[in-house]
Structure 1
Amino acid sequence: MATRSSSTALAAHRALLLDGIRAAGQISRAALARRTGLNAATVTVVVRGLINDGLIVESGRAASTGGKPAVLLSLGIESRFAVGVHLDHTATTYVLADLSGHVVARWSRRGGTDTQDPQQVVQRMAADVTALVTQVGLTLERLTGVGLVSPGPATTATGIALSTPEMQPWIEFPLVDALAAATGLPVVLGNDATAAAIGEFWAGALDPTSVFAAVYMGTGIGAGILASGHPIVGASGNAGEIGHICVVRNGLPCWCGSNGCLETVASAGAIVQAAQRAGCDLSGALIDEQFAAAARAAMNGHPAAARIFDRAADDVAVAVHTLTNILDLDQVILTGPAFAVAGPLFLPAIQQRLEQTFFARGAHPVTVSISSNATDAAATGAAAMVLQSELAPQSSASGLSLIISDPDRGISAGGSSAGAVPEAAAAK
Structure 2
Amino acid sequence: MNAPAVTRTATELLNDKLILEKPLSDTSGQRRKRGLVLNPSAAHCLGLLIGPTEIEGCIVDCAYRTVVRKQLEGAFDAMKPRQVVQAAVSFVNRLRAQAPGDNKRCLGLAAVAPGLTDIAGRRCLACSTMPHLVGVQLADMLEKNLNLPVFLTTGSQAHLRAVERLDINAPANNMLFVFYSQGIGASLKMQGAYIRGKDNLAGEIGHMPVTDEPIPCGCGGTGCLEALASKAALARLARQAVREFAGSSLAALSEIKGDDVLKAAADGDRLGVRLTRDAFAHLARAVAGIAVCMAPDHIVFSHSISAAGDEMFQWLCAEIRSRLSGQLRDGLSISVSTINSHISSMGAAFMGLDLAM
With normalisation by structure 1, the TM-score equals: 0.73
CA deviation after TM superposition for structure 1 residue 244, in Å: 0.9
Per the alignment, residue 409 of structure 1 pairs with none
CA deviation after TM superposition for structure 1 residue 86, in Å: 2.0
Letter in 2 for 1:387: L
Per the alignment, residue 390 of structure 1 pairs with 356
CA deviation after TM superposition for structure 1 residue 299, in Å: 1.2
Question: Which one of 315, 318, 326 corresponds to residue 285 of structure 2?
Answer: 318
Per the alignment, residue 8 of structure 1 pairs with none
Per the alignment, residue 377 of structure 1 pairs with 343
Distance 1:191 1:350, change over 3 A: farther
CA deviation after TM superposition for structure 1 residue 206, in Å: 5.4
**Would you say 1:153 and 2:116 are equivalent positions?**
yes
Distance 1:45 1:187, change over 3 A: closer
Which piece of structure 1 moves more, 176-185 or 192-201? Answer: 176-185
Distance 1:271 1:80, change over 3 A: same
Distance 1:111 1:255, change over 3 A: same
Which piece of structure 1 moves more, 120-129 or 200-209? Answer: 200-209
Question: Which one of 26, 30, 33 corresponds to residue 70 of structure 1?
Answer: 33
- Helix, strand or coil: the match of 1:361? helix
Question: Which one of 284, 309, 327 corresponds to residue 361 of structure 1?
Answer: 327
CA deviation after TM superposition for structure 1 residue 208, in Å: 3.5
Letter in 1 for 2:324: F
CA deviation after TM superposition for structure 1 residue 107, in Å: 1.1
Per the alignment, residue 226 of structure 2 pairs with 263
Structure 1: how far apart are the matches of 2:155 and 2:276?
24
Deviation sequence 1:341-375 (CA, Å, 0-9, x none) = 44747632442133222146367432111111142
Letter in 2 for 1:196: H
Per the alignment, residue 251 of structure 1 pairs with 214
CA deviation after TM superposition for structure 1 residue 328, in Å: 1.5
Letter in 1 for 2:50: L
Deviation sequence 1:206-250 (CA, Å, 0-9, x none) = 553520011112332111112344211012112111111111223
CA deviation after TM superposition for structure 1 residue 385, in Å: 1.4
Q: Is the Cα contact below 8 Å between 1:91 and 1:111 reproduced in 2? A: yes
CA deviation after TM superposition for structure 1 residue 123, in Å: 0.9
Distance 1:112 1:226, change over 3 A: farther
Distance 1:130 1:153, change over 3 A: same
Per the alignment, residue 198 of structure 1 pairs with 161
Which piece of structure 1 moves more, 343-352 or 166-175? Answer: 343-352
Structure 2: how far apart are the matches of 1:294 and 1:251?
23
Structure 2: how far apart are the matches of 1:111 and 1:229?
38
Deviation sequence 1:103-131 (CA, Å, 0-9, x none) = 10101222365223232121111111111
Deviation sequence 1:324-344 (CA, Å, 0-9, x none) = 1111112111115x3354474
Question: Which one of 267, 272, 297 corresponds to residue 305 of structure 1?
Answer: 272
CA deviation after TM superposition for structure 1 residue 282, in Å: 7.8
Which piece of structure 1 moves more, 248-257 or 94-103? Answer: 248-257
Distance 1:253 1:162, change over 3 A: farther
Number of matched pairs: 350
Equivalent residues in 2 for 1:179-194, closer than 5 Å: 179-194=142-157
**Would you say 1:175 and 2:141 are equivalent positions?**
no
Letter in 1 for 2:140: D
Structure 1: how far apart are the matches of 2:6 and 2:119?
36
Structure 2: how far apart are the matches of 1:157 and 1:46?
26
Distance 1:281 1:91, change over 3 A: farther
Letter in 1 for 2:277: D
Structure 1: how far apart are the matches of 2:61 and 2:280?
36
Equivalent residues in 2 for 1:20-419, closer than 5 Å: 38-39=2-3, 43-64=6-27, 69-111=32-74, 113-137=76-100, 142-156=105-119, 158-203=121-166, 205=168, 207-208=170-171, 210-279=173-242, 280=250, 290-335=257-302, 338-339=304-305, 341-342=307-308, 344=310, 347-359=313-325, 361=327, 364-391=330-357
- Helix, strand or coil: the match of 2:94? helix
Structure 1: how far apart are the matches of 2:75 and 2:354?
26
Structure 1: how far apart are the matches of 2:309 and 2:350?
24
Letter in 2 for 1:219: Q
Letter in 2 for 1:314: A
- Helix, strand or coil: the match of 2:116? coil
Structure 2: how far apart are the matches of 1:284 and 1:109?
27
Q: Is the Cα contact below 8 Å between 1:243 and 1:263 reproduced in 2? A: yes
Quick one: percent identity of the two aligned structures? Answer: 26
Letter in 2 for 1:333: V
Distance 1:48 1:177, change over 3 A: closer
Q: Is the Cα contact below 8 Å between 1:160 and 1:172 reproduced in 2? A: yes
Structure 1 vs Structure 2 CA RMSD: 2.8
Q: Is the Cα contact below 8 Å between 2:207 and 2:224 reproduced in 1? A: yes
Distance 1:304 1:158, change over 3 A: same
Distance 1:157 1:67, change over 3 A: closer
Q: Is the Cα contact below 8 Å between 2:44 and 2:62 reproduced in 1? A: yes
Structure 2: how far apart are the matches of 1:284 and 1:113?
26
CA deviation after TM superposition for structure 1 residue 259, in Å: 1.1
Distance 1:63 1:157, change over 3 A: closer
